[in-house]
Structure 1
Amino acid sequence: MFTRLKRISTKNANEVCLSSIPKEQEPIGLLYFNLDGYSTYCKRYKEYWSWVEKRNEERYKSNISHYKNYDSKNMMHTFRLLLMAKEIGELGEINVKRTDRNYLLSIKNAAFEYDDLVLKATEIKDKLDLIYDKSNLREKPNLELINKLLVSIREKFYSI
């Protein structure tokens, strides 16, 4: 009754392959195909399995072990960057050596709930505009001074 169609698509195709039906044949159904939705699904599926293949297994196990279901190392770096941005706006300097190291490590060790961290990060981010509005930092960097400094550092480093 049905004849098997030979493969008319490639392995990675994301479209429905149809065969023609005689015009006089009675319709037995309606097919709706959300190509954009399916394409998005396929892309995300492929990206997920690519991530699984390439992920840092030790880091992944660490994230699973604390049962918080978020990347705690990434969250720690998010807070470090937000707090550094706040300090730059308030103090006009970059503090690489962190006085809040223990707090950052507690984030990395998943001592906090994800929703609480997102709320706190949002609060810090929302304050940044006000901090930078009050800051005495220049609107734009002095590129001439920066380039002279860069040349000077390179000359000293390479003993030119």
Structure 2
Amino acid sequence: MTVSAAGPIASFIASGRLYGVGIDSTLMELQQAISCDFVDVVDEDGDSMRRDYGFIEFYLNSGENWSVSGGAIELHRLAAHGDMADRWRAAMRDDFPQYLAWDELYGDFSKLPNPPALQNIDQGDFQEYRASATKVSVLVNNDHEERDEWLGHGDVWSVSLG
């Protein structure tokens, strides 16, 4: 059975954790939480790494153990590449939509017990909703009007931790 991803995304905004993974989670915890194909991209100095699952990424810093320093759900990639969501659905049983309207996501977020306050910041082509308490930001498309291979006005572009 698959689950709509709007709920897990709303929980991510409220908690700063996606599938239980958040800032300071270890690489081992990330590997245990997410069982989907990925590519690791390590910087030239070996100090940081990006674990790329397609439209979901986690950023890690080296040290005694690799630890999560941030991450992002890049929903804008799904408008033209729905196959990424198909692979995720098969591995994780969550159904990420090709488009996700902010109104729908905010509806799920506002139903959570004690959701953190969101700061609304106009970024020109984007509207940012930032939960300072959890270090999560949601970017919403303010520009393009109609949905096609691009997001429409009011659609969520990305949800970022860090």
TM over 0.5: no
Q: TM-score, normalised by structure 1?
A: 0.21
TM-score w.r.t. length of structure 2? 0.21
Q: Where is the strand percentage greater, Structure 1 or Structure 2?
A: 2
Greater helix share, structure number: 1
Q: Which has the higher contact order (CA 8 A, sep 6+)?
A: 2
